[in-house]
Amino acid sequence: MSEYVPLAGSRREPMRGSKRTARADPSLVIDITLVLRRRRPIQGRQAPLVRMHRSLFGERYGADPQDIEDIRQFGESNGLKCKTISQAARTIVLRGTVADVSGAFRTALALYESPLGVYRDWTGPLHIPIGLASTIQAVLGLDNRPVARPHFVKAADDQGQASFLPRDVGALYDFPYGYDGSGQRVAIVELGGGYSVADLNSYFVAQGLPIPVVTDFSVDGGKNSPGGKSDAEVMLDIEVVHSISPGAEIGMYFAPNTESSILNAMSAAVHDDFFRPTIVSLSWGNPERYYTDQIKAAMDGVFIDAAAMGVTICIASGDSGSSGGADGINVDFPASCPHALACGGTRLNVTRLGVIDSETVWNDKSGVSGGGVSAFFPLPPWQVAAGVPLSAASSGVSGRGVPDVAGDADPDTGYSVILHGKRQIIGGTSAVAPLWAGLIALINDYLDGPTVGFLHPIIYLDWLTRIGFRDVTMGNNGAYSAAPGWDACTGWGSPDGSRVLNSVADWYFSQLQMAYL
């Protein structure tokens, strides 16, 4: 018998407030996703110097065929059938019973009751054969524990608020005029809820905007399912993206709310050689501590793939300030991934003449801009000179600073949308991720061929941050305070859209030598 060793980063603890009630049904058939190592490392990922076509990515940087075969044989020897293989995404989905999966990874699956409902999970680490220890990077899907929440906040009063249509917010931020995102495709990942075509049509017809072209994609059985609370997230995302970039197509990637499915959905969007999005927006997340280390590393691996292919990842930084909605000091994941554009929140105050009077960190009874210092990801090279502080947590460690950028998120100065046939006002950092996704679609439209892709090495250039952003210097999110330059409340601040476009374009056309392989 092969020697087994713990899989690094797979240790799981019961959800707080949960209680084990029974063992999981051993005959239940489940799908698990294994993430494999790269065939070779991606060079120069810190700057978008080379863009890899999706059709060639798998062969160059995906999983090694021999590793895939080794995993297929491992699964077969344990009664697990190979369902799907993605060389590019470095994933293999194996299907088997709970009994077979438990035996393959030397664990016991049980049912737990929690405030979020009954879920299946394990405790302690998973185990894998020592001969596959360097091959397997993550094993996901043994559980169906909910892992993320949407980051939208409804205004308390939908009638008397100082709200804006999304395109009005774009105008206040001087988003570039004359471009509509034509030729761009924006992927929006949702872990629940759905949209109403009738609501979308009435919303955009009333504004004289074209009806959006929306294509649905199902991941792990997820689908457009309107009728619940998460509809507010889905409708907000679509209405903001299309209002800002009405010429862009939208792809909706619906997936269940689990660790394996959130990874599979982001990976499906990044590696989709059919829809081929240039931007991916996600407005769901939770404190880093709620996730296993293996999913955190695997998710940033997907975002590194995106950077190599010229795809920008926009993620909401959360609505619970420096606590992240948990005890102590926490940042939100996946916003804490170094290769994600983490989007924080502000309160936007406008004069009667329709110009910005002031902008502060969003922090009131409705919610607070998420931000802080990662306890898992180290400080990335592009943030070394940004002045990221040590974590305010007791550990006081250095790490990836969150967010990178910001925008209007306070529901008191929120976005007027149509939801379930009614006008509603919604805020939260959920609005900021699609706002930035729309702006990047406009910039890509202007670039007419190249894409912004991985934006960090550009926006962390000193000259661009001084002229391309509205620096937010007032307010705090709990443990961190706004200050001149980058801070852990709003990053570099909100966008001065036209200046961001001009600065990015100047950088590209003067320094970037594109090579499409």
**Is 503 exposed, middle or buried (CB count within 10 Å of its CB: 0-12, 13-18, 19+)?**
buried
Angle between helices 231-244 and 432-447 (to 10 degrees): 30
Give the chain's mean pLDDT. Answer: 93
Give me 54's structure tokens. Answer: 């999706």
Average of per-residue pLDDT across 163-168? 95
CA pair distance 431, 326, nearest whole angstrom: 22
Tokens of 82: 């190979």
Lowest mean pLDDT among 87-101, 157-171, 260-274, 440-454: 157-171
Q: What is the pLDDT of residues 286-336, one digit of tens each?
A: 999 999 999 999 999 999 999 999 999 999 999 999 999 999 999 999 999
**What is the pTM assigned to this prediction?**
0.96
State pLDDT tens for residues 209-254.
999 999 999 999 999 999 999 999 999 999 999 999 999 999 999 9
- Residues 6 or more apart from 30 whose CB is under 8 A from it? 95, 96, 97, 98, 101, 141, 142
- Hey, which residues are catalytic here? 233, 237, 430
Where in the chain is CATH 3.40.50.200? Answer: 149-511
pLDDT at 160: 45
The fourth-level CATH superfamily of domain 149-511 is Peptidase S8/S53 domain (3.40.50.200)
- Per-residue confidence at 57, pLDDT binned at 50, 70, 90? very high
